Structure 1
Amino acid sequence: MPIRNHASIVAAVSLFAAGCSFQPKYERPATSVAATYPSSGIYATQPVAEPGRSAGGLAAADIGWREFFSDPRLARIIELALINNRDLRVAMLNVAQVRAQYQIVRAQLFPSITASAAEDVTRTPKDLSFFNQTISREYTVGLNASWEIDFWGRIRSLKDQALEQYFSTAEARKAAEISLVSQVAAQYLTMLAVDDLLKVTEGTLKTAQASYELTELQFANGTGSELDLRQAQTILEQASANLHAEARARAQAENALVLLVGTPLPDDLPPGRTLDAQDLLADIPAGLPSDLLTRRPDIMEAEASLLAANANIGAARAAFFPSVVLTGSAGTASLTLGGLFKPGSAAWAFTPQITLPIFQGGQNVANLDFAHIQKNIQIASYQKSIQTAFRDVADGLAARSTYDAQIAALERNTFAEQRAFDLSTLRYKSGVDSYLSVLTAQTNLYAAQQSLINARAARLTNLVGLYVALGGGWLQHTGEAPRPADADTDYRAMRALKGASPQAAPQG
């Protein structure tokens, strides 16, 4: 049969089989969470928009982190981290690696064609040769082709699996960037909180030093007791120890921030804001839990992994059926180099091969069972990622609704402790009370100041966490078009290539 007839039959069969696939129909698993977030009890009181600083009803995923954070110093540090952080760089390289793996698998759908040229030299013993020709040569030049016809969709299923793995890795890289923005902001806020704690401790130490010198003078003059002196010394030494501990914590907090940024902090950073002046957007709407399915990259990563496992079942099922491989070659052959391209030197070969699995010791059955188990694992992981996201948002909403009232109470408590300390000091100097009342009042004031600073830092950190939990942190500016999950994060390059089309996902 002529080659073109073979090709026609193969083309017809391949077209007929193109729609054959054993992949199960994908249905998104149940979310297993409530349809809405909690809204009663402590959840009922949520912050309202502040003048000039409002989310304007925009979802977190639509708000750029430059608009969410108002501190220019923090914004610059985040930008440096997105350029230099090594973990984010590894996440981006993982995307490139999986993209290459996808392209390798996809290439199996197409024929493999190679060109070859060969010289075959053979020596035959003289007793076995004809006409005493012990050396014979054969020259060939031609094309070789091999193609596995994907009748049952095995290769297409593997291609789909590789593509979904690529999407999963891309979403993981997106989650890594969002997490980096959150971690840098949280660490920056921690540094500011330690700065405030240092100021409070320095003030307490200064006051304690003055009190100690006064009691020491009174003790030397015989008008004060050693008990008062030692009580004054206790708070002095405690404040001194705290100052050293907080100075150490400040240095370590900056070291942690430098590690996240991936480069030493430059000297030309813009001026920053204090902890009290961190005006973060506090009125971002929560939306619905179903919104998280398309706004949280960790959920989208889990679903892509589930789709990859679903496609792998199709490949495992197709392994039970015959595989068809077409192999052929066409070219010229001659006993002499000069005769390769003379008339009559054409040569071709066509070798179709069908392989049918008969007995493999249960390997195919085990592979199919393995594929089903993998899918079930991914279903559970997907549902758990949704439940985790729901909890993240619910915890953030519970904290957002209570921190303002807590901080207001702590501010009133700090004011009261300050007045108590001032009055106790006056009464002690007037000889009405012992130094123990001053010591107690100063200890309570110091603790109240620390609690207020820690609560302010926790409130801000929670707002950052809630912004990220709702899917924010991917956009740089509000209103810009969302970037693909595998987009570059080098903002210097992005500024240089402003207006260029983003990197596209592999086509399949």
Structure 2
Amino acid sequence: MSLAYKTSVLAVAAALAMTACSFGPSGEPPAMPSPEHYGAQAQPSKTVSAAGVAQQFDIGATSVPQWWRLYRSDALDALVEEGLRNSPTLAATQRTLAAAQEELRAQVGASTLPSVDGVAQVERARSPVVPGLGPEQVQYNFFAGQFVAHYTFDLFGQTRYANSASAARVNVQAYELEAARRALAANIVGTAINVAALDRQIALTERLVAVANEAANEDQQRYALGSVSRAQAAASTQDAASVAATLPALRQQRARAIHALAVLMGRTPDNVPTVPDFDSLSLPEHVPVAVPSDLLRSRPDIEAADAALKAAAADVGAATAQLYPSLSLTASMGRGGFSWPTVLSGAGALWAIGAGLSQPIFHGGALFAQRRASIDAYDAAVLHYKSTVLSAFQDVADSLAALDNDAQTVASTEAGAQAARAAFDDTASRRQLGSLPSTAQHASEQRFLNAQVGAVRATSQRMSDTAALFQAMGEMPGGQPRATSTQ
């Protein structure tokens, strides 16, 4: 190793020593914009009234931890609570977090406190001697027992930084657990709403099939009597078959959804739960909307990105600190000898004490490369935090826009369904009076049933998007996880 290289290493070490107070970044998240509103357009204070409900957006209101209760369905509450209690995926995440917490305790204990070990040794040995200078061999016994202590002083904070990085990564897992719990609740709510809506759509479609079959049978009878053309009879049969073909697809959607719901709740697909009736679900009228600055503290994915940023900052500090000297102290005390009387006498006392100082001088540039790598990783963590925040803002903006548009869609479909119902009632009355043929009544009922199917789909989407907004706002079922600290 050249003298010039030694000199450069010492110069870098001296420069780092002068900036020892800043071994690593602070770990504070970067300042993020706080927009006045989430989307391209300012969100209204409430949606339009649809199906008798105009949802209120409560800006800055306190979050609702068990937000699914706002649907006012005991059956839905039971589904969510069972899922949170029995989901094996969630339980596995909890145990993984518990294991990480125990590993952190082990790391902190092993690195910050002295280690003390008891050592016992019993030995019988045979050693040869030089010929002509004594017996040909020497056999002896040796007994020893000692306590050995070792401690490394954290002079420049390498241990402290390493432990802080590990603690921050445990916090990442804690926030990820909260995100998983919140996502599980939202998935159960969304899937249950979907199943309930599919049940209603299947019932309406079954009636559509029956009406279409009645119309087709009547046209076949009229064709046999010569009152309608063959083309009209065939068209009626084709319409009935087309409507009937939609039923298997709906039933398959329902089967997939109910199987998924069972698995989310920790059940096997053959043990499906009972879902609430669609009419028993009430749309939440008040939806808390956190201001952007509060959203940074309420969403676990943002908190996880913040914890990862702190871990990366601590890694920079640890990589810098390892360029400085380390000091360790070793001590031992015990008794030993070649016989038990010697061991137990004053002559059998054993003790030792020593100190070691280590200063990295040449490691092939590895230590400096590791520090540069940790700085790059920290920069990546900063950018990941910014990306996570921007994605969170987008989630909220999309959800707010969806609820506003959903309300308008529901209002339109409800108006269409009401008009179709009025037309059907009028047609049915005129049919009873004999002023209209049965084909007119069938056609009117089909239009009414199709309008009802559209209204159910729109209402279901509105309920599901409401659950998505609660999830985007960060209302966590279990509350904020407790941060882990090594201090």
Q: Shared fold (TM-score greater than 0.5)?
A: yes
Contact in 1 for aligned 2:417/2:452 (Cα 8 Å)? yes
Question: 2:85 is matched with which residue?
Answer: 83
Question: 1:148 is matched with which residue?
Answer: 152
Counterpart amino acid of residue 342 in structure 2: G
Alignment pair present for 1:116 and 2:119: yes
Over residues 101-138 of structure 1, what are the superposed CA-to-partner deviations in whole Å (9 max), with x where a residue is unaligned?
31232121111110011124332113279753511332
Task: Say which SS state the counterpart of residue 357 (structure 1) adopts.
Answer: coil
Question: 1:93 is matched with which residue?
Answer: 95
1:61 Cα shift?
2.9
Contact in 1 for aligned 2:123/2:143 (Cα 8 Å)? yes
The alignment's C-alpha RMSD in Å is: 3.3
Measure, in 2, the Cα distance between the counterparts of 1:143 and 1:42.
Answer: 71
Task: Say which SS state the counterpart of residue 289 (structure 2) adopts.
Answer: coil
Measure, in 1, the Cα distance between the counterparts of 2:29 and 2:44.
Answer: 30
Task: Give the direction of change, closer, same or farther, for the CA distance of 1:216–1:206 in structure 2 (3 Å limit).
Answer: same
Measure, in 1, the Cα distance between the counterparts of 2:133 and 2:343.
Answer: 23
Measure, in 1, the Cα distance between the counterparts of 2:425 and 2:124.
Answer: 108
Over residues 310-350 of structure 1, what are the superposed CA-to-partner deviations in whole Å (9 max), with x where a residue is unaligned?
11111000111111121221111111133322223211111
Contact in 2 for aligned 1:71/1:272 (Cα 8 Å)? no
Contact in 2 for aligned 1:42/1:402 (Cα 8 Å)? no
1:297 Cα shift?
0.8
1:472 Cα shift?
1.4
Aligned residues: 462
Measure, in 1, the Cα distance between the counterparts of 2:370 and 2:346.
Answer: 53
Counterpart amino acid of residue 485 in structure 1: P
Aligned positions of 1:184-333 closer than 5 A: 184-264=188-268, 273-333=276-336
Measure, in 2, the Cα distance between the counterparts of 1:466 and 1:97.
Answer: 33
Task: Give structure 1 stretches of 5+ with no counterpart.
Answer: 1-18, 476-481, 487-503
Question: 2:470 is matched with which residue?
Answer: 467
**TM-score normalised by the chain length of structure 1:** 0.82
1:183 Cα shift?
0.4
Counterpart amino acid of residue 181 in structure 1: A
Measure, in 1, the Cα distance between the counterparts of 2:411 and 2:417.
Answer: 10
Measure, in 1, the Cα distance between the counterparts of 2:56 and 2:131.
Answer: 97
Alignment pair present for 1:172 and 2:176: yes
Alignment pair present for 1:458 and 2:454: no
Question: 1:492 is matched with which residue?
Answer: none
Task: Say which SS state the counterpart of residue 281 (structure 1) adopts.
Answer: coil
Over residues 160-211 of structure 1, what are the superposed CA-to-partner deviations in whole Å (9 max), with x where a residue is unaligned?
0011111111010011000000000001011011111101101111111111
1:424 Cα shift?
7.8
Contact in 2 for aligned 1:35/1:290 (Cα 8 Å)? no
Alignment pair present for 1:103 and 2:99: no
Task: Give the direction of change, closer, same or farther, for the CA distance of 1:25–1:272 in structure 2 (3 Å limit).
Answer: closer
Q: Which of 43, 66, 69 is residue 67 of structure 1 equivalent to?
A: 69
Task: Give structure 2 stretches of 5+ with no counterpart.
Answer: 1-19
**TM-score normalised by the chain length of structure 2:** 0.85
Task: Say which SS state the counterpart of residue 284 (structure 2) adopts.
Answer: coil
Task: Give the direction of change, closer, same or farther, for the CA distance of 1:104–1:354 in structure 2 (3 Å limit).
Answer: same
Q: Which of 356, 360, 385 is residue 357 of structure 1 equivalent to?
A: 360
Measure, in 2, the Cα distance between the counterparts of 1:193 and 1:471.
Answer: 26
Contact in 1 for aligned 2:142/2:336 (Cα 8 Å)? yes
Q: Which of 104, 109, 125 is residue 128 of structure 2 equivalent to?
A: 125
1:462 Cα shift?
0.8
Measure, in 2, the Cα distance between the counterparts of 1:361 and 1:250.
Answer: 63
Task: Say which SS state the counterpart of residue 367 (structure 1) adopts.
Answer: helix
Measure, in 1, the Cα distance between the counterparts of 2:105 and 2:132.
Answer: 51
Task: Give the direction of change, closer, same or farther, for the CA distance of 1:54–1:171 in structure 2 (3 Å limit).
Answer: same
Task: Give the direction of change, closer, same or farther, for the CA distance of 1:253–1:438 in structure 2 (3 Å limit).
Answer: same
Question: 2:15 is matched with which residue?
Answer: none
Question: 2:371 is matched with which residue?
Answer: 368
Measure, in 2, the Cα distance between the counterparts of 1:58 and 1:28.
Answer: 22
Measure, in 2, the Cα distance between the counterparts of 1:351 and 1:410.
Answer: 85
Deviates more, 1:155-164 or 1:281-290: 281-290
